Structure 1
Amino acid sequence: MAEPILPGPAAALAALLGVPLPEDGVLPLLWHWVYLLDRPAQADLGPDGHPVREGTPPGRRMWAGGRVRTTGELRWGEEATRHSEVLATREKQGRSGPLTFVTVAHRIHQAGRLVVDEEQDLVYRASGGETYPAGGPEVPPEPGEWALDVTPTLLFRFSALTYNAHRIHYDRDYCRDVEGYPGLLTHGPLQALAMAEAARARGAAGPLAFEYRLVAPLFDFQGLIASARPDAGAMTTAVRDRSGRRTATGSLRPG
């Protein structure tokens, strides 16, 4: 897959997150997620909005985490290419039933060199049987934490920007009546981007290696508060909801 890296998607993401657009044309960590997107035909989508492909494991699909290493600068104004492949598929038994983990690799090249080396971990699981904790007392953001106002509009716009048709992010009736969720799901990639932006606000730049995990579901009515704290030459990142419940963790270090 190849396409020119234009400034439009980056400007749209900056406006969505309320963060500065890079003046030098170099995309910050994880901003490649609004480029080089799969765009399946409408006829190829399943009832949940995900593409139906041969060999796709059955069950509910969730983003579990990943690893991203930037080895160069991805800039707008030049063409880039992305090569993707499935690295591994493994079965596990979870507390609520069987799980299928799929690891997918994406490598992005620009100007003849590798600039992004990424692995994404996806998990497929059966629906039903989950319980979700009620929110506790609100814990206000501390100095250095980065709060994002999660609304149905924001989730819909992020889905559109990343060409993600998964209905759990914008169709509340589907979430409640089919998936059994109490609200719209906040995207895993959006939580990872929030952690990366919290780190960028603290000066993280240059070649970076970022590893992150989604540890609990985050719903639209729970808010999103990200943090990045220095830790022995690296940064420890996290996302929590307004009551302090942690939903994502990460570790960022120089690449």
Structure 2
Amino acid sequence: MIQRDAAPTRSRDLFSDADLQREFEAVQRQLTEALDELQPPLSELVRSQLAESLSPQRVGVILAASVGRQDTPLLCKQRVLLAAALEMLRLALVIHKLLLRREWGGGQEDDRSWMGSVILAGDYCFSRSAVLAAQTDEPQVVAIFARALQTVSEGHLRRLFEAEAGPFGEDEEVVDAGLLAATVLASETSDEATKTIALGQELLRSGRLAPEEVTFQRRRWQAVQEFIAATNTPL
């Protein structure tokens, strides 16, 4: 009960746009409800990493990019699910990174048990991210997400288990897939989608808005920029 009461406090007044704020809180609820299905000790492990992985600026960008010219309750539900799916995917990656941070040698049984818990927790989050994406009921979005899931999971595994594997831009992969899927949900034209994707990438990278944006999304883009400027947190 304490955890459920604490979640809204963290999200209150992050965004100046009231609709964006409500949808951000809906994303948080989707994540919390998904994690409620886990039992200890996996639940504690996953919840301990959620604060590190959850990115209001990334969520805000996806929720802005997927606003349609004719916005509907269905589209609102779809973009909340998309944003939650991306954050769940990011959470899975953060959890699996714990394998790199571990100082092994606490005992073979302890090491094996801990490794098993981390792998199970990460795999659960990967699975839940796919379920959330599927719940959008938009085949193109599901296909985009499936490709992103495969790309980031394979790149992540290479970095975990191949000593000579180079750096892998998993955050960029997640964001790019999310922005592309968002433009599909919003039924944007090719020109609009190109502008939206470039705008989202630049805003997360530098905290600056591009000079052109899709006009029916302007209010949300400005709210996300205000948050990034106030907190000095480009991605």
Q: How does the TM-score come out when normalised to structure 1?
A: 0.26
Normalized per residue, the structure richer in strand is 1
Q: How does the TM-score come out when normalised to structure 2?
A: 0.27
Higher relative contact order (CA 8 A, sep 6+): 2
Normalized per residue, the structure richer in helix is 2
